[in-house]
Amino acid sequence: MIVGGWRPAEVVDVVDASSHARVLRVRVTDWPGNDAGQHIDIRLTAEDGYQAERSYSVGSYGAGDIIELAVDEVPDGEVSPYLVRDVAVGDQLEVKGPLGGYFVWRAGGVVPVQLIAGGSGIVPLRAIARAMSDAGVAASGRLLYFVRTPEDAIYRDELTRDAEAGGVPVTWAYTRGAPDGWQGRVGRLDDSGIAAASWRPDDEPLVFVCGPTRFVEHVADTLVRLGHPASSIRTERFGGA
């Protein structure tokens, strides 16, 4: 892990990811590179000096001074609506990091790997899926991604394209509405649904679960019930009740 002080950063690219989420690319001065799964702190400063800081995962990994973020809007939030609605190419902010040395996967790390995301929890798992593909072990990864509807998914096209090109296979779980022609169920996945989309405890996977607090609680409890040892389940909770 490298932290360092606040580094100036500039927004170089913004792409809508859904009606309420956006992928941002940010050039960070003297960025030392980051491991897949790490996060940063962002500091925003208003003209009058007022400041706010929040944590965001990095969807990219490795060297280079441009990092990728994906932010989902919390409607009554202070920072995320600004990042999703207002920030534009050329705008400035500050970044501290990379942060975290636990919710990470590095080339040569344990396989198989089970990735389970809810909503914006996909961001660090996207980086891990990328790192696994680059390390040639995508077939040892499985990604289970919970979204309300297909339109709510961040990285929807990239994940599908990568999976078709030999990247980490994706199982979609729709909690509110599925695409036309969807054969599977819609709604919260039960134990057998999660088991069917995941490596078995006998395969001894390392499991990464990320998303809103309640989602992570539910999935982690289910995994323990399915027989995964707690010590092989890593969680990152993004907040919310």
Ligand X SMILES: Cc1cc2nc3c(=O)[nH]c(=O)nc-3n(C[C@H](O)[C@H](O)[C@H](O)COP(=O)(O)OP(=O)(O)OC[C@H]3O[C@@H](n4cnc5c(N)ncnc54)[C@H](O)[C@@H]3O)c2cc1C
Residue numbers at the binding site for other proteins (CB under 8 A): 1, 3, 6, 8, 41, 43-55, 77-78, 81-82, 86-88, 91-94, 99-102, 213, 217, 220-221, 223-224, 230-231, 233-235, 237, 239-241
Q: Does 74 interact with ligand X (rule: CB under 6 A)? A: yes
Interaction partner, residue 8 (other proteins, ligand X, none; CB < 5-8 Å by kind): other proteins
Answer whether 147's CB lies under 8 Å from 173's CB: yes
Interaction partner, residue 177 (ligand X, other proteins, none; CB < 5-8 Å by kind): none
Q: Which stretch binds ligand X (CB under 6 A): 177-185, 200-208, 222-230, 232-240?
A: 232-240
Exposure class string for 166-202: b at 16+ Cβ within 10 A, else e: ebbbbbbbbbeebeeeeeeeeeebeeebbbebbbebe
- Determine which residue in the list 31, 56, 61, 155 makes contact with ligand X, applying CB under 6 A: 56
What x/- string results for residues 190 through 219 when contact with ligand X is judged by CB under 6 A?
Answer: ----------------------x-------
Amino acid at 120: S
Interaction partner, residue 56 (ligand X, other proteins, none; CB < 5-8 Å by kind): ligand X
Interaction partner, residue 212 (other proteins, ligand X, none; CB < 5-8 Å by kind): ligand X
Answer whether 68's CB lies under 8 Å from 158's CB: no
Q: What are the φ and ψ backbone dihedral angles of 90, each rounded to 5 degrees?
A: 100, -15
C-alpha pair distances (Å), 216 with each of 45, 191, 212, 241: 31, 14, 6, 11
Q: Which stretch binds ligand X (CB under 6 A): 48-56, 131-139, 178-186, 221-229?
A: 48-56
Q: Does 160 interact with ligand X (rule: CB under 6 A)? A: no
In angstroms, rounded to a whole number, what is the distance separating the alpha carbons of residues 123 and 216?
A: 14
DSSP 62: B
In angstroms, rounded to a whole number, what is the distance separating the alpha carbons of residues 147 and 28?
A: 30
- Return the number of the residue (190 or 221) whose C-beta is nearest other proteins: 221
Helix, strand, coil percentages for the chain (3-state, nearest 5): 25, 35, 40
How many Cβ atoms sit within 10 Å of the Cβ of residue 60?
Answer: 18
Q: Which stretch binds ligand X (CB under 6 A): 3-11, 68-76, 166-174, 216-224?
A: 68-76
Q: Does 96 interact with ligand X (rule: CB under 6 A)? A: no
Q: Which residues contribute to the site for ligand X (CB under 6 A)?
A: 39, 54-57, 70-72, 74, 76-80, 120, 123, 212, 236, 238-240
